[in-house]
Amino acid sequence: DAAYGEIMHLAIELGGTITGEHGVGRLKRPWLGDYLGEDVLELNQRIKRALDPQGILNPGAGL
């Protein structure tokens, strides 16, 4: 886990991406705020809540 975290931080630090073919999975979620910025992450969550107030679309995904 520690090595994976170091890889994620290094990718972000070097201007790379942590996304993949299908976006950011649950494994990479802890680094999503560092990658997008907390403000963008919060905006994304607000949009998700507005469009899915009951949380029935992709339950448990957290975004």
pLDDT in tens, 26-52: 888 899 899 999 999 999 999 999 999
| Rounded Cα–Cα distance for residues 16 and 27 (Å) | 17
**Residue 38 in tokens:** 């907390």
pLDDT band at 63 (very low <50, low <70, confident <90, very high): low
pLDDT of 5: 94
**In percent, how much of the chain has pLDDT > 70?**
97
pLDDT of 58: 84
Q: What is the pTM of this model?
A: 0.70
